[in-house]
Amino acid sequence: MEREGFYLALLIIIAGAAATRLYSYLLFHVFAEVFSIIIAGSIFTLAWNTRRFQKSDFLIFIGIAFLFIGFIDLVHTLAYHGMNILPDDPNIPTQLWIAARSLQAAALLAAPLMLRRQRREWATFAGFAGVTAVLLLSIAAGIFPACYIAGEGLTPFKIAMEYLICFALVLAGVHFWKNRDAFDPTVLSFLLAAIAVTIISELSFTLYVGVFDGFNMLGHLLKIVAFALIYVAIIETGLQRPYDLIFRDLARTEALVRKERDTAQNYLDIAGVIILALDPEGRVTLINRKGEELLGLPPSEILGKEWFYTFVPKADQKEVLSAYHEALNGGTGFETHENGVISADGTVRDIRWVNVILKDEEGAPIGLLSSGSDVTEENLSKEALRLANQKIALLGSITRHDILNHLTALSGYLGLGQIACREQPGGFLERAGSMARAIETDIRFSAEYQRMGSSPPAWQDPAPLIRSCAADLGAGEIVQVEIAPLRIYADPMLRKVFCNLIANALDHGGGVSRILFAAEEKDGGLVIVCEDDGIGIPPGEKEIIFSSGYGKNHGYGLFLIREILAITGIQIRETGEAGTGARFEIFVPEGKHKKE
């Protein structure tokens, strides 16, 4: 519909221009030339005032060219035969016409070359000003070759120049077509149409004899059409759809940048580490998929947030933020560091960072680029291994001491047995056997204890382990498990914990008929409860039952349970009431448990 309106308006303009011919050819000529002069000035105004947005010199080059083309056309109009403003010589306006059309053809031929040049508007302005001055001075001085002789018509030079102009315009059209990828299709089609109509117009100007005859009028009507097409290509498009003309290079550059950014983001997303970028104020400007997964948040809830105050635990904020600001100011020591990061569910993960301060071309810091590796499990394993080695060393000392005491007693009983074997042989030998069994218990326990911490901790689901222990101990019917699927971070001997709890209830509970395992979140952690309906634990023994050597058979079961759990910071205590049953509570701290 818009194009139909344009063609209708153009038809009305042409008809109106032709109608003025019925009154006066000079009026027609002024109308045609002023129409093209206004369009030429408008092209310059649009190009000049939008030059800071342009990524190439193409539009400003065309604008400046048409400014001087319009100026020569203005002089041509004033000098036209019969206007009586400038010397009334029909040769002068014809020379000015050739000068303007030559400048127009040269500008259109060179314009595509400006697609790859930038920020030379003043040099372009000076160049066109110089060429225009030379053309006008050569005409005024009589140096410019004659183009029209009264009574004879067009000179061979004028006709040859028209053909040369047409040839240059054909080359310009080819040049535009070869660079068509740089133009909006609509803009390109109107520019090519304008060039084609201009060629036909120039050919008509090789055929007239008098400056008022029909071919001269046809040429000017075609010039109106050509400039109208240029108006649509540059002015109308530039105002109504600026991204198709003025900002086309900018839009294409932005599209290319977006494509490169998306490609880079894809590379970052497949990285096995966290990639994080911060601005100087510590706001997040980039994060990859690994970082999003660790935080448990979409990019929209991460980008723009203050990293240190939003995702770093309060205990670490002051130290990390101070180190960051010191690094921005040129300090060292922040190249690698480790701190906790809070995820959406409140879990704190240990991240080891490798940092690079980003700088601009002048060396001023503009932010931080970091890659981070989740070392939570690594740190937990190291701590668990340290605790295990410490406990094994302690056990070795305790066990050696116990075995030596037992061996001393065994040696004494055997000696006494030899002296009094005839009088009381059974008493001393039975005691010797008891000592031997105690030594065997110590050695078996040391073997169990040695296994503790020999393998790194792992995430384990308690429910299957409890059911497996109950089945092995023949207690499947009385053991109830009411624990939803979850995982806790513990030593691989976690199964031994549950087996010992069940065995302890069966051996010392006084005929239990029910053992219940349940779990609930409490105080930021997870509490796993094991309770039975046996005789319970007296108040004075709730803590000493976890000591080594307490109770029957040297009481290593509960001692071992506490030691296994302590490797990963898990605690156990007895909270039941004597006479109603034992109740063991296993407290798993925050960060050491997670839901399936």
Residue 420 — very low, low, confident or very high, per pLDDT cuts 50/70/90? low
- Flag whether pLDDT at 425 surpasses 70: no
Instruction: Tell me which of 97-106, 137-146, 424-433 is least confident.
Output: 424-433
Which pLDDT band holds residue 391 (cuts at 50, 70, 90)?
Answer: low
Q: Domain 457-596 belongs to what architecture? A: 2-Layer Sandwich (3.30)
Rounded CA-CA distance 328/335 in Å is 11
pLDDT bin (cut points 50, 70, 90) of residue 555 is: very low
Q: Where are the domains of the chain?
A: 2-252, 271-374, 377-456, 457-596
Identify the residue with better confidence: 525 or 418. Answer: 525
Q: Give whichever of 249-263, 342-356, 555-569, 578-592 has the largest mean pLDDT.
A: 578-592
Arithmetic mean of pLDDT, 556-570: 83
Q: For residue 167, is pLDDT > 70? A: yes
Band the pLDDT of 244: cuts 50, 70, 90: very low
Please give the order of strands across the beta sheet that includes 348-359.
284-287, 274-278, 365-374, 348-359, 336-342
Alpha carbon distance, N-terminus to C-terminus of the chain: 62
CATH class of the domain at 2-252:
mainly alpha
**Interatomic CA distance for residues 580 and 534, integer angstroms:** 6
* 432 confidence band (pLDDT: 50, 70, 90): low
Q: What is the rounded CA–CA span in Å between residue 33 and residue 76?
A: 9
CB hemisphere CA count around 581 (13 angstroms) = 16
Burial 506-520 (b: 16+ CB within 10 A, else e): bebbeebeebbbebe
Q: Is the pLDDT of residue 248 over 70?
A: no
Q: Which residues pair with 319 in a beta bridge?
A: none
Pairing relationship of beta strands 515-522 and 479-482 according to DSSP bridges: parallel
**Per residue, what are the HEC states of 439-499?**
HHHHHHHHHHHHHCCCCCCEEECHHHHHHHHHHHCCCCCCEEEECCCEEEEECCCHHHHHH
Q: Is 395 helix (H, G, I), strand (E, B) or coil?
A: helix
pLDDT of residue 300: 85
299 and 323 in contact (C-beta within 8 Å)? no
Question: Would 2-252 and 271-374 be classified into the same CATH topology?
Answer: no
Q: 459 - beta bridge partners?
A: 489
The pLDDT > 90 percentage for the chain reads 16
pLDDT of residue 463: 93
Residues 6+ apart with CB under 8 A from 9: none
Confidence tier at 274 by pLDDT (50, 70, 90): confident
Of the given ranges (218-232, 272-286, 351-365, 392-406), which has the lowest mean pLDDT?
A: 392-406
Q: What is the pLDDT of residue 129?
A: 92
In the predicted structure, residue 450 carries a pLDDT above the cut 60: no
**Residue bearing tokens 């059911």:** 467
Q: Residue 392: pLDDT above 80?
A: no
Write out pLDDT tens, residues 17-75.
778 777 788 888 888 888 888 888 888 888 788 777 666 677 788 888 889 998 998 99
Distance CA 136, CA 78 (A): 14
Q: How many CB atoms lie within 10 A of CB 525?
A: 16
| Average of per-residue pLDDT across 477-501 | 90
**Cα–Cα dist 159/163, whole Å:** 6
What does pLDDT average to over the chain? 79
- Given this model, what pLDDT does residue 487 score? 92
Picking from 441, 579, 558, the residue whose alpha carbon sits closest to that of residue 499 is 558
Average pLDDT over residues 561-565: 87
- Note the pLDDT of residue 584: 94
Residue 335, pLDDT score: 80
* % of residues, the chain, pLDDT over 70: 77
Fold observed for domain 271-374: Beta-Lactamase (3.30.450)
pLDDT band at residue 447 under the 50/70/90 scheme:
low
More confident residue, 572 or 397: 572
Q: Is the pLDDT of residue 368 over 60?
A: yes
Q: How confident is the model at residue 413 (pLDDT cuts 50, 70, 90)?
A: low
Cβ–Cβ under 8 Å, residues 113 and 182: no
More confident residue, 398 or 560: 560
282 vs 554: CA distance, rounded Å: 59
**In this model, does residue 511 exceed pLDDT 60?**
yes
Question: Beta partners for 358?
Answer: 367
